[in-house]
């Protein structure tokens, strides 16, 4: 797919509010309180915040899996009314099809969705094989998801997304369930796949959700900080660290200072939530 020349922002949230009605009591819960945000084409944007801050709700609205109660969410100036192949997603729990092999999972979007139209079977298979290689799953094509480690499953999830060549990559805490070492490796590989070292104009737009501050700073061009109850955007920060990001990035004073600044923004709330959960859950921890 050729990238359209970006005139306005790639994605835009305009006065977006999202409320839910609690089934039994009928009470209204505000998940996201009046959010305005623009995301440029080719930008790597991360949203951080404590649980319940509505960051996943925002991502779901960008995907079109949920619609805002008020306001509009738009891509390339067109209001988003439902999910589409242009906005692909990676899930925290991988959401791989357990009855399909790695190869078939990666092939799924091209085989059954609009982005595979016009591809011959051979072309499609070549692209799938390339994506499987790209994420380092070469040799595991015929394995089923239950035969893979968590890290390999998420590599497969990323390959499934990348193979479909969406304009926008939406990632919902993709590394949250992985161990610390695997996370670091996959963070670096994600930036490589995104095209960090290549031409800036060729990069896709990424919206990445996490609750890990260091992950947000390491990956992003900008970090959106949210707070909970109600979920709202409290700060948008430019990262400004040079790319490509490496191990050395993590030890730079700017990296540390920015991480600390974000932590200061949400610390009170995280403590409040932790102690509330602690007293509600008894004397554990």
List binders of another protein among 142-161 (CB under 8 A): 144, 146, 160
Residue 92: CB minimum distance to another protein, A: 9
Instruction: Check if the beta carbon of residue 93 is closer than 8 Å to that of residue 177.
Output: yes
Number of residues that bind another protein (CB under 8 A): 29
Give the Cα separation of 282 and 63 in Å (integer): 38
Identify the H or E element spanning 48: strand 44-48
* 87 near another protein, rule: CB under 8 A: yes
Residue 271: CB minimum distance to another protein, A: 31
Residue 13: CB minimum distance to another protein, A: 18
**Among the listed residues 99, 83, 97, the one whose alpha carbon sits nearest the alpha carbon of residue 166:** 83
Helix axes 180-194, 150-163, angle to 10 degrees: 10
**Single residue of 17, 19, 83, 124 touching another protein by CB under 8 A:** 83
Nearer to another protein, 115 or 124 (CB): 115
* 85 near another protein, rule: CB under 8 A: yes
Q: Give every CB contact of residue 89 below 8 A, 6+ residues apart in sequence.
A: 59, 63, 65, 161, 169, 170, 171, 172
Q: Which two tokens stand for residue 174?
A: 């993709």
Residue 174: CB minimum distance to another protein, A: 13
Question: Could you list the residues that contact another protein (CB under 8 A)?
Answer: 63-65, 82-89, 91, 93, 95-99, 108-109, 112-115, 144, 146, 160, 164, 170
């Amino acid at each position: 797919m050729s990238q359209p020349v970006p005139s306005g922002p790639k994605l835009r949230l305009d006065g977006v509010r999202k409320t839910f009605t609690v089934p039994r009591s009928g009470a209204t819960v505000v998940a996201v309180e009046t959010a305005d945000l623009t995301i440029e084409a080719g930008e790597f944007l991360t949203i951080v915040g404590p649980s319940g801050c509505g960051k996943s709700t925002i991502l779901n609205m960008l995907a079109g899996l949920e619609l805002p109660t008020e306001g509009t969410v738009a891509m390339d100036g067109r209001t988003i009314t439902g999910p589409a192949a242009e906005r692909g997603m990676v899930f925290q729990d991988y959401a791989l099809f357990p009855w399909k092999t790695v190869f078939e999972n990666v092939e799924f979007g091209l085989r059954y969705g609009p982005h595979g139209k016009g591809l011959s079977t051979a072309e499609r298979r070549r692209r799938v094989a390339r994506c499987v290689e790209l994420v380092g799953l070469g040799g595991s094509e015929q394995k089923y998801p239950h035969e893979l480690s968590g890290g390999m499953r998420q590599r497969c999830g990323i390959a499934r997304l990348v193979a479909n060549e969406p304009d926008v990559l939406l990632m919902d805490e993709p590394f949250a369930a992985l161990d610390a070492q695997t996370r670091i490796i996959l963070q670096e590989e994600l930036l490589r796949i995104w095209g960090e070292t290549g031409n800036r104009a060729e990069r896709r737009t990424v919206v990445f959700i996490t609750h890990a501050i260091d992950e947000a700073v390491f990956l992003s061009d900008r970090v959106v900080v949210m707070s909970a109850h109600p979920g709202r955007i409290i700060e948008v920060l430019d990262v400004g660290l040079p790319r490509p990001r490496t191990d050395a990035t993590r030890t730079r004073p700017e990296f540390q200072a920015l991480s600390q600044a974000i932590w200061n923004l949400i610390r009170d709330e995280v403590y409040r939530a932790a102690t509330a959960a602690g007293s509600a859950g008894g004397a554990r921890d």
